[in-house]
Structure 1
Amino acid sequence: MTATDFARQSLGQRIRHRVQRAMGPWGVFLQGFVEHPVMVGSIIPSSRFTIRKMLAPVKWDECRLFVEYGPGVGTFCRPVLERLRRDGQLIVIDTNPLYIDYLNATIPDSRFAAVLGSAADVEAIVKAHGHDHADYVLSGLPFSTLPDGVGAQIAAATHRVLRPGGAFLVYQFSAKARLFMARHFTCIDAGFEWLNVLPCKLFWGWKA
């Protein structure tokens, strides 16, 4: 890459970041949905009621690594960071560079790392950040519309990367995610949140 190409790329990145800031989180989220509706699954971010209920079982004093799949514009990221211990880390994984760029530009927290990649590669990503395992993994990925085989890969990799006693936290509009979870997690708690668009099913899969 020449110096001119690098300068053009840097200018393009700066312009993109300025546009994203001007659009705000709702605009960026909508753009991501329009570009990748199958991977995003919802046109509106989760409600505060879903966030509170989903995170309620987490033992924050024991959590050193929290991982999230499909963070979007950070709807869960900020509440997680507010609760996370000072020496903890939050790693989020998304296949959409739009969301990763936005998160890196808007969350200036040393405990935060946004990774462009697949949730199926969570083990390698966790190790690359200096951890042996995760304490909790949160996912809003639409298991019902993921490409064939991907949902099963993600569920298996998540079970392997979690420590004993850790949990896979999943919120969905359908119950299909539980089918993938049940292959690996023998203890699955379930809930429901009406105050969300759309109302969603909640699952907590605990690793024995």
Structure 2
Amino acid sequence: MTTELAGEAPLAKVKSRLKRALGPWGVFFEGFLKNPVMVGSIVPSSRFTINRVLSAVDWDNTKLFVEYGPGVGTFCQPVLDRLRRDGTLLVIDLNPDFIEYLSHTITDSRFVAVHGSAADVEEIIRAHGHEKADYIISGLPFSTLPPGVGPAIASATYRVLRKGGAFLVYQFTPRAGDFMAQFFKRIDKGLEWINVPPCFLFWGWKDED
């Protein structure tokens, strides 16, 4: 037992040093290895994908922007750069390593990181003093989520969005559109080629009644 622990200690130090050297890429890669079903990709989204996804947002009227599965924050700073001064960016992730990393690296007072499930978004935003979200973005891999989780997330997202808000989704397969179509009547679609791999884009709108 003692020998095993002695062997593990140097290995842990090497992993820690490698993680620090790689910075956010190291954290992202470790998260992918731990749970590839939830992370979905080994490579963060390109700036072309980020700009295109966020281009549909009415930033002047956005008070609460929510992100599912922020990872190491690829979208976080671009959102904060655009968000109004009295707005809030609330991110939700099941991976505690990602939440810890973001909490230590993003010091903006408008930023809130929550360890939890996207399916519980209604309870989470209310616990932080909000009733509705203006926009919600997600890169969660709908096609590989456990049975029932994708529809549960899409349903909760539709309920918690304000009228006129939107669910912004970027994926590597078109299946996310199938989950969204059960709840969103109007879905705009796109494809961003300058990404690894190319990315399917969806904007599901909660239209006014």
- Paired residue for 2:68? 69
Whole-angstrom distance in 1 between the partners of 2:17 and 2:25: 15
- Paired residue for 2:184? 185
Sort the Cα spacing of 1:18 and 1:97 in 2 relative to 1 into closer, same or farther, 3 A.
farther
Aligned-pair distance for 1:17? 9.6
- Paired residue for 2:46? 47
Which residues in structure 2 correspond to 1:22-41 (within 5 Å)? 22-41=21-40
The question of whether the paired residues in 2 share the 8 Å contact of 1:100 and 1:115 is answered with yes
Sort the Cα spacing of 1:49 and 1:29 in 2 relative to 1 into closer, same or farther, 3 A.
same
Greater Rg by CA: 2
Whole-angstrom distance in 2 between the partners of 1:113 and 1:137: 14
Aligned-pair distance for 1:23? 3.5
Question: Which contiguous aligned blocks of 4+ residues in structure 1 show a shift greater than 3 angstroms?
Answer: 16-23
TM-score by length of 2: 0.90
Aligned-pair distance for 1:175? 1.0
TM-score by length of 1: 0.90
Give me the CA root mean square deviation.
1.5
- Paired residue for 1:8? none
Aligned length: 193
Q: Deviations over 1:10-40 (max 9, x none)?
A: xxxxxx9998654401111001001111100
Which residues in structure 2 correspond to 1:83-98 (within 5 Å)? 83-98=82-97
- Paired residue for 1:150? 149
Whole-angstrom distance in 1 between the partners of 2:20 and 2:159: 37
Whole-angstrom distance in 2 between the partners of 1:181 and 1:39: 18
Q: Deviations over 1:70-101 (max 9, x none)?
A: 00000000000000000000000000001000
Q: Which runs of 5+ in 2 are unaligned?
A: 1-14
Between stretches 21-30 and 34-43, larger displacement belongs to 21-30
Q: Which runs of 5+ in 1 are unaligned?
A: 1-15
The question of whether the paired residues in 2 share the 8 Å contact of 1:166 and 1:206 is answered with yes
